[in-house]
């Protein structure tokens, strides 16, 4: 298996490409060409090596030969699509080979290129695939977001939270769920009007976003004035700090509803405990929030046991 090559790009992290071909010369030529374009490139000499690499690294694009021993291109494409749905595959084949375009596309490939090909032809196909991937990512992001506040919506929570719970379970790091309710939001709307209420909710979400960690913590709009915050890989001291900072940032919003009540459930997966599901965490955090609301504490943190 050849070494990885990585070059940085000016518009974010490089696209990760896996080249699969049983001919060393072709692998080397493609690896060098793609690296010069700024891609992160790995190579595999056969389908088995490709499977092994996929179990360790999520690739964006696979460029695979079709005519290979043991595991041919069609079998490889089907297996890769089973392992990782969010991957695009470009199939390579010689003019004399009998792989039909329709069969390759039906197997899950995004495009097809005949050997021998020029670098410009490959570059054009890669650019089209990458452009399509970015458009799909933008659309998916919109589907997961609340259109008013920019927080994730309930559908986003159903997609993201179970994966984060599973990741915390495997890696054995802590995970916390905040249930945040805005007290007196109806009265705020009655006093200032619904447009002002919408502006206030946007300000609240922006205030929380200044506190949480990007790509580690996730804010969801659960209901009209109810929000859920998922905090990953943070010890209880940091969780408490995040909660108090949210309360502090909230106090700076003007005009604002009377107050917020926060209930938190903290789970330490290093301990031998039953693994809670999403509904369990919501239920426990909701109970903690109501305890805070009824006792006038603004914040209650419970440890899951």
Q: Answer yes or no: is 11 within a domain.
A: no
Q: Answer yes or no: is 297 within a domain.
A: yes
Q: Answer yes or no: is 148 within a domain.
A: no
Give me the CATH number covering residue 73. Answer: 3.40.50.2300
Residues 6+ apart with CB under 8 A from 192: 200, 255
User: What secondary structure letter does DSSP report for 275?
Assistant: P
Question: Higher-confidence residue: 52 or 249?
Answer: 249
Is residue 189 domain-shared with residue 91, that is, in the same domain? no
- Give the pLDDT confidence score for residue 217 in this predicted structure: 95
Is residue 21 domain-shared with residue 74, that is, in the same domain? yes
Asked if the model's pLDDT at residue 31 lies above 90, the reply is yes
Instruction: Residue 259: name the closest of 246, 273, 277, 272 by CA.
Output: 246
Give me the CATH number covering residue 287. Answer: 3.30.70.270
- Give the pLDDT confidence score for residue 98 in this predicted structure: 65
Q: CB count, 10 Å around CB of 211?
A: 19
Is residue 241 domain-shared with residue 204, that is, in the same domain? yes
Of 69-73, 121-125, 190-194, 289-293, which gets the smallest average pLDDT?
A: 69-73
Is residue 215 domain-shared with residue 299, that is, in the same domain? yes
Q: How far is CA 281 from the centre of its chain?
A: 20
> Computed from CA positions of residues 62, 66, 70, 71, in that sequence, does the dihedral angle turn out positive or negative?
positive
CA distances from 262 to 58, 81, 84, 302 (A): 36, 42, 37, 11
Q: Answer yes or no: is 1 within a domain.
A: no
pLDDT, tens digit, 9 for 90 and up, residues 165-206: 999 998 899 999 999 999 999 999 999 999 999 999 999 999
Q: How far apart are CA 142 and CA 49, in angstroms?
A: 36
Contact 87, 81 (CB under 8 A): yes
Is residue 126 domain-shared with residue 159, that is, in the same domain? no
Q: Answer yes or no: is 213 within a domain.
A: yes
- Give the pLDDT confidence score for residue 104 in this predicted structure: 86
Quick check: is 225 catalytic? yes
Question: Could you give the 3-state DSSP secondary structure of residue 175?
Answer: strand
pLDDT, tens digit, 9 for 90 and up, residues 251-280: 999 999 999 999 999 999 888 788 899 999
Number of domains into which the chain is organized: 2
Mean pLDDT of the chain: 90
Which of 21, 60, 181, 225 does the annotation list as catalytic? 225
Instruction: Residue 87: name the closest of 129, 38, 45 by CA.
Output: 129
Q: Which domain holds residue 96?
A: 16-142
């Amino acid at each position: 298996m050849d070494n990885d090559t990585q070059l940085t790009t000016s518009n974010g992290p490089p696209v990760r490409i896996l080249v699969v071909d049983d001919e060393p010369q072709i692998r080397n030529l493609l690896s060098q060409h793609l690296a010069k374009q700024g891609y992160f490139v790995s190579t595999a000499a056969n389908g088995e090596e490709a499977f092994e690499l996929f179990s360790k690294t999520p690739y964006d694009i696979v460029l695979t030969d079709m005519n290979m021993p043991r595991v041919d291109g069609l079998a490889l494409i089907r297996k890769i699509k089973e392992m990782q749905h969010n991957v695009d595959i470009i199939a390579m084949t010689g003019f004399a080979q009998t792989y039909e375009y329709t069969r390759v596309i039906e197997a899950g490939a995004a495009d097809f290129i005949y050997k021998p090909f020029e670098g410009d032809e490959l570059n054009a196909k890669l650019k089209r695939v990458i452009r399509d991937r970015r458009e799909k990512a933008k659309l998916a992001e919109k589907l997961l977001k609340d259109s008013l506040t920019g927080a994730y919506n309930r559908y986003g929570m159903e997609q993201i939270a179970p994966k984060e719970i599973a990741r915390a379970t495997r890696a054995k790091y802590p995970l916390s769920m905040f249930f945040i309710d805005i007290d007196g939001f109806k009265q705020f709307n009655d006093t200032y009007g619904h447009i002002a209420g919408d502006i206030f909710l946007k300000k609240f979400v922006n205030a929380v976003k200044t506190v949480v960690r990007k790509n580690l913590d996730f804010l969801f709009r659960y209901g009209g004035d109810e929000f859920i915050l998922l905090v990953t890989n943070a010890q209880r001291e940091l969780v408490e700090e995040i909660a108090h900072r949210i309360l502090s940032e909230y106090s700076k919003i003007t005009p604002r509803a009377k107050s917020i009540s926060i209930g938190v459930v903290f789970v330490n997966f290093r301990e031998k405990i039953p693994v809670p599901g999403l509904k369990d965490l919501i239920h426990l955090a909701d109970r903690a929030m109501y305890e805070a609301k009824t006792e006038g504490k603004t914040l209650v943190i419970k440890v899951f046991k």
